[in-house]
Amino acid sequence: MKDRAISNIRRGDRHITTVAVIVVIQAIAAAFFLADAVVDISTGELSLHIFTEMLIAFALLAGIGLGAWQTAQMIEQARHDADALAVARGAASQLMDLRFRQWGLTDAEAEVALFSLKGFEVAEIARLRNVAEGTVRAQLTSIYAKSGVSSRHALLSLFFEDLIEIEHH
Amino acid sequence: MEAPEVQTRRWDPIVKITHWGIVGVVICNALLVGDGSIAHIYAGYLLAALLALRLAWGLIGPASARFRSFPPSPMRAIKHIGDILAGRKEEHSSHNPLGALMVYAVWTCLSVIVATGVAMSGPPPSVEFPISTSILVSRDEHGEEEEGQHEEGERGHGGESGVGESEEALEELHEAAVNLLYLLVFLHIAGVAFEAARSGRRTLTAMLPGGK
């Protein structure tokens, strides 16, 4: 789950880097073009050629400005998302701790419940905790009984119910 | 549970690309190509573009890249030195106050270098292909011409000698600013090394690709 979240962030970073590289190339192109155009414009008379150069210069600068502004927005959004994700993670783990204590889960059961909520199967949990699959199944049954649900989906939905607020308009 | 692994990145790609681009140009023009060569002039324009973009980024970029996040304030720099002496470590979301002074000094220095360079060279010279690398990187006839003009000016009328003198003044200013830049670069590297030793490797890796 976490790997997927991080790979999403990496993909976002790559996208931002690509746009940033294009903005840098545009800026370099603009510097060389402007250096030429300024000489033409300052020495030449107002001709179609100079008018065209001014138009191109304007388009280039506007493009850079807009591209840079959009890049800045993307970077700010990515930072905001990363912060929000961290806050949500903290909140989710706090809520789990609270519920596990309320239900009176043992430490072992709390760990199994956490693995189960993170999407691990019985066999995987057994391997991770170095116990028999039967033990994990027994622990899950106990967890469901203490929390008053009958399946993993129902257990998961107990948390989502608390974390997701549906707004009524 | 685990602490969130996703830390906020301090330097965005534009800051990193302009930083290393400028490093590249300075190395190129200081060590690799001849003074006043065609390659030197083109690299100079590249520097101008990167510097202009970084300065514009200081106005419209994300928070950590904006001038507002690192005002040039001697008072804050002094307070920061006090923090260092007292062994206090503060997290700065952008440049630390001493680093900020360094950044503005470097930008001023680079601006003088670009302005005097452009004043001496004019627009980028046109290059006809194919061209040999030796012409590209050596003091070409363009430079020799200027030398010739100097001599003529010195020998000739007062007006022409005025042009020669202003050209010479530009060249001296260019070189003085470059020497000052070398000093600033040395101080910058020393500062980063000191900060890395004081508060950890993150200072070192922050400006690298993928660094935070």
Residue B121 predicted with pLDDT over 50: yes
- In this predicted structure, the answer to whether residue B34 has a pLDDT above a threshold of 50 is yes
What number of C-beta contacts closer than 8 Å exist between A and B? 87
When CB atoms are compared, the residue of A6, A39, A75 closest to B62 is: A75
Q: What pLDDT does A167 receive?
A: 65
Judge whether residue B171 has pLDDT over 60: yes
Using an 8 Å Cβ cutoff, are B57 and A65 in contact? no
Where chain A has pLDDT below 70, the residues are: 1-6, 165-169
Residues 100-129 of B with CB under 8 A from A: 118, 122-124
What pLDDT is recorded for position B89? 80
Q: What is the pLDDT of residues A139-153, one digit of tens each?
A: 999 999 998 888 888
| CA–CA gap between residue A101 and residue A114 (Å, rounded) | 13
- Residue A113, judged by CB atoms within 10 A of its CB (0-12, 13-18, 19+), counts as buried
* pLDDT recorded at residue B184: 95
Q: Is B8 on the interface with A (CB under 8 A)?
A: yes
Q: What is the 3-state secondary structure (H, E, C) of A14-36?
A: HHHHHHHHHHHHHHHHHHHHHHH
Where residue B124 falls among pLDDT bands split at 50, 70, 90? confident
Considering only the beta carbons, identify the residue of B4, B62, B123 that sits closest to A35. Answer: B123
Mutation for A interface: B5, B6, B121, B126, most A CBs within 10 A: B6
- Contact of B151 with B75, CB cutoff 8 Å: no
Mean pLDDT score of chain B: 81
Closest CA to A12 of A81, A67, A63: A81
Contact A20 B48 (CB under 8 A): no
Q: How far is B52 from chain A (nearest CA, A)?
A: 8
B83 pLDDT tier (thresholds 50, 70, 90): confident
Overall average pLDDT of the B140-154 stretch: 43
Given an 8 Å threshold on Cβ–Cβ distance, is B6 in contact with A82?
yes
Mean per-residue pLDDT, B148-172: 59
Q: Is the pLDDT of residue B174 over 90?
A: yes
A46 or B57, greater pLDDT: B57
Looking at residues B99-114, what average pLDDT do you find?
94
Distance CA B51, CA A31 (A): 11
So what's the pLDDT on residue B1?
35
Count CA atoms within 13 Å of residue A130 on its CB side: 0
CA-based torsion, A77, A79, A82, A84: positive or negative: negative
In CATH terms, is domain A104-169 a member of 1.10.10.10? yes
Kindly state whether A9 is in contact with chain B, defined as any CB-CB distance less than 8 angstroms.
yes
Annotate B133-194 with DSSP letters as a single string: HHHHHS--HHHHHHHHHHHHHHHS-HHHHHHHHHHHHHHHHHHHHHHHHHHHHHHHHHHHHH
Per-residue pLDDT for B147 more than 50? Answer: no
What is the identity of the amino acid at A117? L
- Residue (of A134, A125, A33) closest to B123 by Cα position: A33
Q: Is B50 on the interface with A (CB under 8 A)?
A: yes
Residues 35-94 of chain A with CB under 8 A from chain B are 35-36, 38-39, 64-65, 68-69, 71-72, 75-76, 79, 82-83, 85-86, 89-90, 93
Across the range B53-58, mean pLDDT stands at: 94
Please tell me which residue, B138 or A153, carries the higher pLDDT value. A153
Chain A nearest C-alpha distance from B3 (Å): 8
**CA A134 distance to own-chain centroid:** 37
Query: Which one, of A24, A3, A13, A5, lies nearest residue B11 by Cα?
Result: A13
Please report, to the nearest 10 degrees, the dihedral formed by the alpha carbons of residues B190, B195, B2, B63 taken in order: -90
Q: What Cα–Cα distance (Å) separates residue B32 from each residue in A52, A79, B35, B166?
A: 37, 39, 9, 27
Interface test with B, best of A19, A22, A26, A28 (most B CBs within 10 A): A28
Share of chain B above pLDDT 90, in %: 37
Lowest mean pLDDT among A145-149, B85-89, B148-152, B161-165: B148-152
Q: Is the pLDDT of residue B51 over 60?
A: yes
**Would you place residue B26 in the very low, low, confident or very high pLDDT band (cuts 50, 70, 90)?**
very high
User: What are the structure tokens assigned to A140, written together?
Assistant: 């899950």
The reported pLDDT for the residue numbered B155 is: 40
Q: Does B18 lie at the interface with A, CB-CB under 8 angstroms?
A: yes
